[in-house]
């Protein structure tokens, strides 16, 4: 009798444990969905109704996402002017720092440089020459050359990671910009997503650091490097 009682209790305990775990998991997923919905509503430039409902139900204005961004970080990054005004009017904190070390105002600058990198890379053809808008491309090129390193480096990495279809042209643009301290992130991009074409770009661009990195990449992937004379390629370190 005593043994039967112990076994039954253990069985009930296991059943209860399973139920609790499942309920908690479902609640966690729901909270995640609600948080994503909150950020979507908070940066909506056209309709504030959903955002107002979230705030009135107790959501904090300075709720963070997984990257440490508040709604104000995201609204400024995405150029949602009306949402920015609404958030500031409600008292959103303009001084909070995300995981990149950026305030909301900093995220506006980061977003601007990311868009500039992307739009300028689109003006290149696959050979690395300028295919479109020569004067406009030159202006963007010069602005990116002057960009503060604190913003340029994360903008380069994020833009290349987030745009796989344009990744090579973004990297080619970065090579042509020839910014100091950008060689390490460029080598990391080669390591993570490199191919033969990108390695050849690095080998022929005139940067010793990128050349050495491309040589290591080639050896580790079973390629043999052949050197011979020829015309200079358009993808050169620090040259428009």
Do 163 and 57 fall into the same domain?
no
pLDDT for res 10: 38
- Average pLDDT of the residues in 41-62: 94
Q: Are residues 30 and 70 in the same domain?
A: yes
Distance CA 202, CA 214 (A): 6
Q: Is residue 227 part of a domain?
A: no
Query: Are 171 and 202 part of one and the same domain?
Result: yes
- Whole-number pLDDT of residue 213: 97
Residue 80: which CATH number? Answer: 1.25.40
d(CA 192, CA 190): 6
pLDDT averaged over every residue in the chain: 87
Give tens-digit pLDDT for 148-190: 999 999 999 999 999 999 999 999 999 999 998 899 999 999 9
Whether 23 is in a domain gets the answer yes
Count the domains in the chain.
2
Is the same domain home to 112 and 204?
yes
Question: What residue spans of the chain are helical by DSSP H?
Answer: 2-42, 49-56, 71-77, 81-90, 104-121, 134-146, 149-162, 167-177, 183-193, 196-203, 208-220
Return the sign of the alpha-carbon dihedral for residues 217, 219, 221, 223. Answer: positive
117 pLDDT above the threshold of 50: yes
Q: Please answer whether residues 41 and 71 qualify as being in contact, where contact means their C-beta atoms are separated by less than 8 angstroms.
A: no
**Structural domain harbouring 111:** 104-220
Predicted pLDDT of residue 141: 96
> Is residue 30 over pLDDT 70?
no
Q: Are residues 74 and 179 in the same domain?
A: no
Domain match, 143 and 173 both: yes
- Check whether residue 110 and residue 21 sit in a common domain: no
Same domain membership, residue 151 and residue 54: no
Average pLDDT over residues 54-81: 96
């Amino acid at each position: 009798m005593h043994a039967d009682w112990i076994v039954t209790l253990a069985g009930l305990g296991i059943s209860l444990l399973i139920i609790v775990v499942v309920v908690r998991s479902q609640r966690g997923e729901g909270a995640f969905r609600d948080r994503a919905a909150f950020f979507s509503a908070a940066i909506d430039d056209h309709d504030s109704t959903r955002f107002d409902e979230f705030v009135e139900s107790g959501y904090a204005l300075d709720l963070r996402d997984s990257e440490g961004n508040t709604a104000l970080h995201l609204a400024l990054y995405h150029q949602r002017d009306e949402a920015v005004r609404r958030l500031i009017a409600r008292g959103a904190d303009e001084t909070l720092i995300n995981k990149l070390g950026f305030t909301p105002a900093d995220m506006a600058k980061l977003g601007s440089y990311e868009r500039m990198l992307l739009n300028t890379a689109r003006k290149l053809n696959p050979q690395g020459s300028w295919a479109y808008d020569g004067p406009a491309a030159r202006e963007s090129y010069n602005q990116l050359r002057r960009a503060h390193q604190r913003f340029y480096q994360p903008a380069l990495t994020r833009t290349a990671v987030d745009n796989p279809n344009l990744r090579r042209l973004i990297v080619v643009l970065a090579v042509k910009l020839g910014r100091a301290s950008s060689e390490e992130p460029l080598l990391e991009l080669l390591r993570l997503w490199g191919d033969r074409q990108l390695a050849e770009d690095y080998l022929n661009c005139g940067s010793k650091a990128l050349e050495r990195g491309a040589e290591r990449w080639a050896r580790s992937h079973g390629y043999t490097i052949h050197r011979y004379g020829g015309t200079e390629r358009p993808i050169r370190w620090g040259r428009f």
